[in-house]
C-alpha cells in the first residue's frame, strides 16, 4: 500500500474514533455547547430534549442559562481566570475565577465556564464553579485533549448574566 493510501486509512480511522467518542459523550452532563454558557443562550429545547423529542425542562434547573447576557465590562465586573497547572493540562486542571465589581469581591454569584475546540467536532466542557469566598470561584475541568480551547465565563446575579470570552492552550 502506498504512503497516501496508508494516510487515507489512518484519517478514516481517526474520524470514526472521534465520531464514536462524540456519540458516547453526548449524554455526559459536562458535554454542552460553549455558546450555552458563554453567551447564556436560552432556547426552547435543550440538546437532550432534541434527541428524546420531549419538552424543555424548567429553566431553573440550569442557573447558567439566562434571558439576556451583556459583556462583563458593561455590567461593571472585572473577571480574572487562572489555571493550575499553567498552562492547563488535558486532565486535572483547576480554574479559579476572581469576580470583582468596582474593585470589591463579588459574593453569592453563579459562575459558569464552557469551552470547546472549534477545530474538532466533539463536545466541549461546561462547568459551574464552587464559591470559595472573597470573590473567588473554582472548578475542576478535564479538557480531554491538548489543543486550543475557547469559550466563555458567565457571571449570573439576580437572573442577570454577564459574559467574557476565554481561551486555553491545553498542553
Radius of gyration over every alpha carbon of the chain, rounded to an integer in angstroms: 18
pLDDT for res 162: 97
* Per-residue CA distances from 136 to 50, 97, 110, 121 (Å): 35, 6, 11, 32
Q: Determine the Cα–Cα distance for residues 57 and 148; give it in Å rounded to an integer.
A: 32
Q: If you average pLDDT over residues 32-49, what whole number do you get?
A: 38
pTM: 0.67
- Lowest mean pLDDT segment, chosen from 26-40, 42-56, 99-113, 126-140: 42-56
Domain residue extents for the chain: 3-170
Fold of 3-170: Immunoglobulin-like (2.60.40)
Q: Determine the Cα–Cα distance for residues 115 and 26; give it in Å rounded to an integer.
A: 15
C-alpha cell at 155: 457571571
Express each pLDDT in 8-30 by its tens digit.
445 444 443 444 344 334 334 34
- Lowest mean pLDDT segment, chosen from 48-57, 65-74, 111-120: 48-57
Q: In sequence order, what are the beta bridge partners of 69?
A: 161
Q: Between 36 and 120, where is the model more confident? A: 120
Choose among 114, 117, 118: nearest CA to 127: 114
Amino acid at each position: 500500500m502506498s504512503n497516501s493510501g496508508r494516510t487515507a486509512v489512518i484519517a478514516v480511522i481517526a474520524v470514526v474514533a472521534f465520531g464514536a467518542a462524540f456519540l458516547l459523550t453526548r449524554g455526559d452532563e459536562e458535554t454542552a455547547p460553549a455558546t450555552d454558557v458563554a453567551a447564556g443562550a436560552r432556547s426552547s429545547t435543550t440538546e437532550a430534549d432534541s434527541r428524546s423529542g420531549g419538552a424543555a425542562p424548567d429553566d431553573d434547573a440550569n442557573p447558567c442559562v439566562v434571558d439576556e447576557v451583556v459583556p462583563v465590562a458593561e455590567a461593571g465586573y472585572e473577571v480574572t481566570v487562572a489555571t493550575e497547572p499553567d498552562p492547563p493540562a488535558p486532565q486535572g486542571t483547576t480554574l479559579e475565577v476572581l469576580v470583582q465589581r468596582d474593585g470589591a469581591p463579588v459574593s453569592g454569584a453563579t459562575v459558569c465556564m464552557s469551552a470547546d475546540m472549534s477545530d474538532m467536532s466533539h463536545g466541549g466542557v461546561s462547568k459551574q464553579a464552587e464559591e470559595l469566598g472573597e470573590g473567588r470561584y473554582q472548578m475542576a475541568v478535564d479538557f480531554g485533549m491538548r489543543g486550543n480551547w475557547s469559550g466563555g465565563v458567565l457571571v449570573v446575579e439576580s437572573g442577570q448574566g454577564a459574559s467574557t470570552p476565554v481561551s486555553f492552550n491545553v498542553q
